[in-house]
Amino acid sequence: MEEQPLPAASTFSLMRNTPAAIHRAQKDLQRKLQEGTILSFTTVHHTPEGFPAGPRNIGLIELEDGQKVSGHLISETDQPIAIGMKVLPKMRLSSVNTQGLRTYDVSYEIPVQQTVKQEFPGYVLALTGPSGVGKTTVSVLLSTKVGKYVERVPILTTREPKEGDADEYVHVSPEEFLALKNEGKLATSTCIPSRDEKRWYGYRTEDIDAIWQKKMIPVIITEMNLLQGLSSHYGRRSILSFGLMPPGKSKRQMLSSLLHRLRDRGRDTEKQIEDRLKNAEADLDFFKTRSELFDDVIVNDNVDTVVGQLGGLVLERVKA
């Protein structure tokens, strides 16, 4: 590791690696010692002062616990780095300051023999929106209208089957779900705590792959976290993402129309409806704050219009 040259007398010294700063960074080292996945990477050709001369591979890495870090990537072989590769944490000497004090940091090593699918996987039609807005109705009618080209993807869940559940859920035990998750068989998953338990929801990659094999477009009913996960997993452009909004000129009107629909549906108790409305507010805000996750946000006033719109889009994509 090259020693830093002494700074020129008149230069403001960048005291990054001071004893106290190094001491404080120790806690971060522990957090960073996790395996992870490469979300993005770059090669910095002109490193900043204090680092060995480039080129230096750096990655944006999602750690096992979901947190993200930026880290030096170690790749011994000529194999090109790719988004999606797994990495292992390794303790490394990062730099030595002018007083000889050493800074250690966690670098991420790419183990050999990884192949990551690079081709465009296919399109997924995702419908997001608050409970009661009509996602299931729309998706069912869609598979009737353009049934040759779309198929609904079952949602895996650990929650108990309820009366009135349509056939969109596949119920599994928490152990089964976590096993699938740990084996990497889920495209994405999320845990939604409810009053008395933690409920997991997710989609199996093999269910989606199977639909693509048939040259059809998977249709997914989803919510905020799962949509984010799908976008990360398959890439944003794979998701034909539509938000469904209830009719109403103001948020209060929208929530009111949801309330009526939920009551009409007759599937939930008043308490459950109250919970759903609270979540609905967050869902509506999500359309605004995460607008980049949506190709369009449609008002579900007339189900046939919406189905017609989506159907047309499906046919367009399928022809392409």
Partner 1 sequence: MKSAILGFGISIPSRRITSEEIAHAWKQDPETMKAGLGVTEKSVPDAGEDTFTLAFEAGRQAIELADIKTSQISAVFVGSESHPYAVKPTSGMVAAALECDPFCHCADLEFACKAGTAAMQIVDSMIRSKQISHGLAIGADCAQSKPGDALEYTAAAGAAAFVMGSTDNKNALCQIDQTLSFTTDTPDFWRANGKQHPEHAGRFTGEPAYFHHVREATKGILEVGKIKPEDIDHVVFHMPNAKFPSRIAKELGFTKEQLEHGFIVPTVGNTYSACSPLGLAHVLQQAKKSDRILLVSYGSGAGSDAFLMTMMRDGVALAPDTRETTYINYCEYQKLTAAH
Partner 2 sequence: MQSPIYLTGTGQTRFGEHWDMSIKDLMEESIDAAIENAGCTALDIDMVIVANMLGEVASNQAHLGAMAASLLPHHPPALRAEAACASGAVALHTACALLESGKAQTVLVVGVEKMTDIAPSKIAAGLMGAADAEKDAPCGLTFPGIFGLIANRYMHEFNLSRERLNHVSARHHKNGVKNPFAQFRKEIPAEAISMSPKVADPLCMLDCSPISDGAASVVLSTKFESPIKIAASQLATDTLSITDRPTITSFAATKDAMSAALQEANIEREEIAHIELHDCFSIAALISLEDMGFATPGNAIALYEKESPMTINQSGGLKACGHPVAATGIKQVIDVSKQLKNSKSSYGLAHNFGGAAATCGIHILSHA
Residue ranges that bind partner 1, judged by CB under 8 A? 1-3, 26, 29-30, 52, 72, 74, 76-77, 88, 90-94, 100, 102, 104, 107, 109, 111-112
Q: Which of 65, 167, 175, 292 forms a contact with partner 2 (CB under 8 A)?
A: 292
Given partner 2, partner 1, none, residue 15, with its beta carbon under 5 to 8 Å by kind, binds none
Contact 61, 108 (CB under 8 A): yes
16 vs 102, which CB is nearer to partner 1? 102
289 vs 305, which CB is nearer to partner 2? 289
Question: Whole-number minimum distance, CB 14 to partner 1, in Å?
Answer: 20
Q: Which of 6, 23, 26, 45 forms a contact with partner 2 (CB under 8 A)?
A: 45
For residue 69, CA distances in Å to 54, 75, 108 come to 20, 17, 10
Given partner 2, partner 1, none, residue 252, with its beta carbon under 5 to 8 Å by kind, binds none
Separation of alpha carbons 259 and 271, rounded Å: 12
Three-class DSSP category at 193: strand
Residue 217 has φ and ψ, to the nearest 5°, of -100, 120
Q: Is 56 in the site for partner 2 (CB under 8 A)?
A: yes
Question: Whole-number minimum distance, CB 45 to partner 2, in Å?
Answer: 6
The residue range among 152-160, 233-241, 258-266, 275-283 that interacts with partner 2, by the rule CB under 8 A, is: 233-241
C-alpha atoms less than 13 angstroms from C-alpha of 266 in its C-beta half-sphere: 3
For residue 110, CA distances in Å to 142, 183, 185, 217 come to 43, 19, 21, 34
Given partner 2, partner 1, none, residue 253, with its beta carbon under 5 to 8 Å by kind, binds none
The residue count of the chain comes to: 320
Q: Where are the alpha helices (DSSP H) in the chain?
A: 19-32, 135-145, 174-182, 205-213, 224-234, 251-265, 270-289, 303-319
The residue range among 189-197, 234-242, 253-261, 271-279 that interacts with partner 2, by the rule CB under 8 A, is: 234-242
Residues 68-97 that bind partner 2 (CB under 8 A): 68-72, 83, 94
Contact 122, 212 (CB under 8 A): yes
> Nearest-CA neighbor of 139 among 202, 203, 147, 298?
147
Binding site for partner 2 (CB under 8 A): 10-12, 14, 16, 24-25, 28, 39-51, 56, 58-60, 67-72, 83, 94, 103, 105, 107, 120, 228, 231, 235-237, 289-293, 295
